[in-house]
Amino acid sequence: MTTYQNAKELSQLSLGKATKYVENYSPALLQAVPRSLNRNDLALNTETLPFVGEDVWYGYELSWLNPQGKPIVALAEFRFPCTSPNLVESKSFKLYLNSFNQSKFASWQAVLKVLTKDLSQCAAATTEVKLFPLDNCPPLAIASTNALCIDHIEVSIENYDYQPELLAEKNASPEIKEEYLVSHLLKSNCLITSQPDWASLYIHYQGEAINHAALLKYIISFRKHNEFHEQCVERIFCDLQKYYQLEELTVFARYTRRGGLDINPFRSTHLNTAPNLRTIRQ
């Protein structure tokens, strides 16, 4: 359980509360959550973060009206820098996007301009937005990887509460490696509603070899953990850095969509931009 779950900054959120759907453009629906809540809990200095990266969102239910009243639909990509002071709360994001449904815009470019302005203001940092027609969205093409899946490892699990100390189990013969690993068993829960969030977790590192069985048990220990997507990934990044001597580390979680949005946090020691990496679940 996180220490900031009852923070006053979260008490005003629409998340977990009954809300009405607004069908006319309303930027006031957007709600920000300070990233500092989680980072204070992790003892991170926001001025000297141990990682770079971004949060990549995809919107599957964006629609508006053209000047003649005809509906237009699009897929949207949103990229928020991990250095932004705020993350955008996902339910408010969904409500905001739905507020476009019965609103008229002169062009795709006009919609793009409005989205960029509103989301940058909410995150308090420049947000990159792209719109795609449904039949031509390259970032959402199914992608294959050469990552080694660790889900086949037989492990015994009795406790499904977050246990970072599981990473303390090291390999019998320490060595330096570069590995690209994936597990599709990451499940965490929404900080406010406890609704399940499912993800594929990709880890690329160079340094002290990580014990695969210990890593898998650690990932499974998030099964009852309540935290936002972005915060889980930063926690995993920090835990791996704590327990292993790693020269380079990248952690990328591709979460399944909920409410027409998916969130894909990417944190790295050296890479700023997340790759296009989508499995059948996304």
Active site residues: 190, 197
For the record, the structure tokens of 220 come out as: 């499974």
Q: Which residues contact 197 (CB under 8 A, 6 or more apart)?
A: 187, 188, 189, 190, 229, 255, 256, 258
Calpha distance 192→85 (Å, rounded): 20
- In terms of C-beta density within 10 A (0-12 exposed, 13-18 middle, 19 or more buried), how is residue 80 classed? buried
Which contacts of 246-249 are long-range, i.e. CB under 8 A and separated by 24 or more positions? 246/205, 246/206, 246/207, 246/208, 247/206, 247/207, 248/204, 248/205, 248/206, 248/207, 249/51, 249/203, 249/204, 249/205, 249/206, 249/207
Beta bridge partners of 198: 187
- The letter for the amino acid at 33 is V
- Where would I find the H helices in the chain? 8-11, 36-41, 90-98, 108-123, 212-220, 229-243
Secondary structure of residue 145 in the 3-state scheme: coil
Secondary structure of residue 159 in the 3-state scheme: coil
Beta bridge partners of 81: 54
Counts for the chain of helices (H) and strands (E), in that order: 6, 10
